[in-house]
Structure 1
Amino acid sequence: MSYKLGDYVLVLDEDLSGVIKQITGNTISIETEDGFLIDFKSDELVKQQKKQDLKSELFLHSDISDVVSEKETPKRKQQTKKKAKDRYEPTMEVDLHINQLVNSAKGMSNHDMLTLQLDTAKRKLDFAINKRIQKIVFIHGVGEGVLKMELEYLFGRYDNVKYYDANYQKYGLGATEVYIYQNVS
């Protein structure tokens, strides 16, 4: 018989039962109703469905009248509030790792790969400018820093962008965030 964490089991030949908390090979640790953790072999246990009548199972944590009144009164839809931190999160991420851009980099020279990565970055940046997206994160990885340097050169040719290292906690050192000024005349 297969057991999984959270199953309710009875112990054969003993007046014990509990919930499975850990499974290690053929040894199963159960937590008894008294809160003790006890190990048993899997052939010493039998899975047990807790028997409860339908009403108590369906309305375990509430009275039936509460459920009915909840259904009858329409609730106002709550607006989800964005945290300030989330409001300023980039709306677009572009992963420039070569394995994200092509199925196989086999046969490509370093120059070919770098050219493809830069073309992708330029295309995505132009797309963001046209679609009025304010922030993009370009994930370039750490490596030797060649791609990062080339990206900075590319971004420097635009008048309406500024760029800086992306959120370190989220991306580490391998990403650059680009902010696009929308109303440049």
Structure 2
Amino acid sequence: MFSKGDKVSVLDEAINGVVLAVKDKEISIETEDGFVMTFFVNELIKIQETSNLMNSIRSINISEAAKEKEIPKPRSFVKERKDKNEISAPEFDLHIEKLVKNKHGLSNYDILTIQTDTAKRHIEFAIRNRIPKIVFIHGVGEGVLKAELDFLLGRYDNIAFQEGNYQRYGQGATEVFIKQNSK
């Protein structure tokens, strides 16, 4: 384990030295102060050159240490850019709670009919008033309202639609674009 010339440190004392001789379980060392001392094998530990404090300090990369101490920049998220003049698109929430005061007593068919009629009214209003974009918030649910809304929007020639902005609405919205005819 230890051989002549190894650098060692005494475990329970602040003594470092170089191995002079190894005899069974006893090791003779010359301390840094020039004294010759004998210790048992279990009292010493071999130290590598890199354990020298000055060598350790020289091996530190200052730029890497500075990067570790740097405060991380907050993550930036891609945001929808808007012109200062741009008016945000009107949003229409088609959740039944937003459309009627009391939904008790309404069947699923009645609820879906109210929601699609409301959507149709908003589409007709946007077309008449030349509003270029509207957003329907329908929620995720089982997808019945979304499917019905897609079917309704597909019946118009001058309308394109797509999923709403995920960052803003999640999966529960549809953006409707009304192509304006020049009259």
TM superposition score category, shorter chain reference: 0.5 to 0.7
- Please report the TM-score for the alignment, with normalisation by the length of structure 2: 0.53
**1:109 counterpart residue number:** 107
**2:90 counterpart residue number:** 92
1:128 corresponds to which of 126, 136, 159: 126
Q: How many residues align?
A: 103
Distance verdict in 2 for CA 1:182–1:103, change over 3 Å: same
Secondary structure (helix, strand or coil) at the match of 1:132 reads: coil
Q: Distance in 1 between matches of 2:129 and 2:95?
A: 24
Q: Distance in 1 between matches of 2:121 and 2:97?
A: 18
Contact 1:160 1:184 in 2 (8 A): no
CA RMSD of aligned residues (A): 1.9
Q: Which amino acid aligns with 2:175?
A: E
Residue 180 (structure 1) aligned with residue 178 (structure 2) = yes
**1:140 counterpart residue number:** 138
Q: Which amino acid aligns with 1:174?
A: G
Deviation, 1:85, is: 1.8
1:165 corresponds to which of 163, 166, 169: 163
Q: Distance in 2 between matches of 1:86 and 1:99?
A: 31
Secondary structure (helix, strand or coil) at the match of 1:137 reads: strand
Deviation, 1:153, is: 0.3
Task: Give the gaps of 5 or more residues in structure 2.
Answer: 1-78
Larger CA Rg, structure 1 vs 2: 2
Q: How does 1:76-91 map to 2 (within 5 A)?
A: 85-87=81-83, 90-91=88-89
Q: How does 1:1-150 map to 2 (within 5 A)?
A: 85-87=81-83, 90-150=88-148
Deviation, 1:152, is: 0.3
Secondary structure (helix, strand or coil) at the match of 1:182 reads: coil
Q: Distance in 2 between matches of 1:107 and 1:184?
A: 46
Report the identity percentage: 58
Q: Distance in 2 between matches of 1:175 and 1:181?
A: 19
Task: Give the gaps of 5 or more residues in structure 1.
Answer: 1-82
